Amino acid sequence: NAGVTQTPKFRILKIGQSMTLQCTQDMNHNYMYWYRQDPGMGLKLIYYSVGAGITDKGEVPNGYNVSRSTTEDFPLRLELAAPSQTSVYFCASSYATGATWATNEKLFFGSGTQLSVL
Amino acid sequence: AQTVTQSQPEMSVQEAETVTLSCTYDTSENNYYLFWYKQPPSRQMILVIRQEAYKQQNATENRFSVNFQKAAKSFSLKISDSQLGDTAMYFCAFMTQGAQKLVFGQGTRLTINP
């Protein structure tokens, strides 16, 4: 059972380059999220999705795009990389029915992608 | 908007001691969830404990327990009999019922010394 898989684990980009961070989960979770973690800080929500075909902005969406064409995959796209996007990126997923998590539900995280923009 | 504040950037204790990490939050909602996550150097995010706001009883998971003070909007984590493996960043997180989005605090770096 792989859980949430992120690729790549590390990447260095030059300013202005673009790339896609891949995220896939095999738990049939309907909710998926992208967070970024700046050095010494907590996680901030970039985008999230409540199901295939549905995405919404989080706290810090500028400079990013997402898509959710399947339940399993939730890629994050950086179009014009900037030094301010240097961060660790986490993908996460969860399952919820209705408007709330079940008693024992939780968020499953990937292992993160360390991105540096130079 | 909801906010989560962890006022202790770093803490350090000796092995086997008890340590308490502080967390306060701000919300106008009545139904919500609170979480503590552990992030070791491996970067993995590990759920330590969760608390439903409607429950008056404080959550406990083995050596980890919380002190949930709803009126004060406080949610501290107590680690008893601390172990070297407890060394990590600890994040407090909040989620409104129905929002399906976690809001994280800035984190507390905890070091357990031998």
Nearest to A42 among B50, B98, B107 (CB): B107
Judge contact between B108 and A40, C-beta under 8 A: no
What's the whole-number average pLDDT of chain A? 90
Search chain B and give the residue with CA nearest A37: B106
CA–CA gap between residue B92 and residue B105 (Å, rounded): 5
Whether residue A98 is predicted with pLDDT greater than 70 in this model: the reply is no
Q: What is the pLDDT at residue B42?
A: 85
* Separation CA B86–CA B62 (nearest Å): 13
The yes-or-no verdict on residue A97 having pLDDT over 80 is no
Share of chain A above pLDDT 70, in %: 92
Q: What is the pLDDT of residues B45-93, one digit of tens each?
A: 899 999 988 888 999 999 999 999 999 999 999 999 999 999 999 999 9
pLDDT of residue B70: 94
The pLDDT of residue B38 is: 94
**Dist CA A53 CA A77 (whole Å):** 16
Whether residue B39 contacts residue B90, with contact meaning beta carbons closer than 8 Å, is answered with yes
Instruction: Work out the mean pLDDT of chain B and round it to a whole number.
Output: 93
What is the residue whose two structure tokens read 């994050």?
A76
Best mutation target among A31, A55, A101, A115 (most B Cβ atoms within 10 Å) is A101
Question: Choosing among A9, A36, A43, which should be mutated to test the B contact, i.e. which has the most B CBs within 10 A?
Answer: A43
Which amino acid is residue B87, in one-letter code?
T
